[in-house]
A and B are shown apart, each in its own frame.
Chain A
C-alpha cells in the first residue's frame, strides 16, 4: 500500500473509529440519563 493510500485509509478508519467510540459513549450516557433521572431533592447542579 503506498503512502497516499495508507494515509487516507488511516484518516477514514482512525477518524471513523474515534467518532464511533465516542458516539457509543454518548449513547450510553443518554440511556443512563433516562434510567437514572435527576431528582430535584438532590439539589445538585452542573
Chain B
C-alpha cells in the first residue's frame, strides 16, 4: 500500500526542486518576450521562443523529457528536419525574385555577404569551439533563421537555443548594426550612385528560375537539397499562378503553424542546466562579428565589381546580401537617401537581399558536405 505523507506530496511539487538557474531562465525568457512585444524584435519567433524558455524551466514539469509534449515538437519538427524545410516552403512562396533576375550580378553580392559566416567559423575555432560547433555559429552571419536552425540541429544540436536566439536577435538589430559599417566602408560619392531602373522580367524567366536554381545548387551542393527544394517549390507555386490555393496556404496557414512549433521547439532547448554556461556569451559575441563581416563582404565586393563595370553598382546594396529580408534592403534604401534623398535603392537592394538566402543555404550545404 502506498504511503502518503505531507512530505511526499510536497516533494512532488516544483517548489522544493526550484533552483536559481530556473529563475534566471524565467527572466531570460521574459526578456525575450519583452523585446518582442515592447520593441518589436522579431515577435513571430521571439514570443513563442521566450515563452517556451519560461515554460520548460519549471522543475518536474513533463514538457521536454522523451515522449513529452514539447519534446515531440523538437523531435519530429527539428531532429527530423521537417520544420526548417516547411518554413522555407513559405519563404519561397513569399519571395519575389524579380529584382534579382533583372540584375543577375546581385547573386554575387548575395554570395559575398557570406564572408562573415566563414570568418566567424574561423574565429570560433580559435576560441575553442570544435569544428561542427564553429560551423553552426558561423552560419548566424547568414541572417537566415531556418538555415541556422537546420545546420545547428545537424552539427551541434546542443547549441540550438543560443544560436537561434543570436540569429533572430541580430536580425532584428540589422538597422542598428549595419549603418555604421556601411558609412565606414563607403564614400559619400559612392553612396550617391544612382542605378538604372531594373528591366521588366518575364513570367517565363520567373518560372524557369526555381527550376534552374534547383539544378545548379543541388548538383553542386547536394546537402543543401532539403532546404532548396522546399524553397524553390514554394517560389514555383508563386510564379506559376495556377495553384493559388497551395500558394495561399504556403504563405499563410502553413507558415504560421510551423512557426509556432519552431518557436516552442527552439525555446525548449534552453533549459537552465544546458544554457547557463559561458558558451552562449561567446556565441552572442561571435554572432555580432558574423553580421559585421557579412555586411562588409557584400559592400566590398560591390566596390570591387565597380572597378570593372561600366554601369556602377551602389555599394550600399551589397550590405543587403545579409539575408534579413526585407529589413537589410530597407537599410540600404535609408542610408542611400541620407546621401541623396532622390535615390531609390530599395528594389535594387532586394536583388542581393533575396540572393543572400540562396547564398546562406549554399554555405550551409558546403559545411555539411565537409563536416557531416
Contacts and interface: CB of A to CB of B under 8 A. Distances in A.
B220 A24 contact: yes
B199 interface: yes
Interface in A1-31: 3-4, 6-8, 10-11, 13-15, 17-30
Interface stretch (B54-62, B63-71, B120-128, B276-284): B120-128
A20 B217 CA distance: 11
Interface in A25-46: 25-30, 32-33, 36-39, 42, 44-46
B287 interface: no
A3 B220 contact: no
Nearest to B118: A11
A8 B98 CA distance: 35
B243 interface: no
A26 B104 contact: yes
B23 interface: no
Nearest to B197: A46
B184 interface: no
Nearest to B134: A7
A23 B111 contact: yes
Contact of B122 (A8, A22, A29, A42): A8
B31 interface: no
A25 B97 CA distance: 13
Given A6-B125, A28-B212, A22 B108 contact: yes
A42 B200 CA distance: 10
Contacts of B216: 21, 24-25, 28
Contacts of B121: 7, 10-11, 14
A20 to B, nearest CB: 8
A22 B200 contact: no
B154 to A, nearest CB: 16
A44 to B, nearest CB: 6
A22 B201 contact: no
7 contacts: A7-B122, A7-B125, A18-B362, A29-B101, A33-B205, A44-B201, A46-B99
Interface of A: 3-4, 6-8, 10-11, 13-15, 17-30, 32-33, 36-39, 42, 44-46
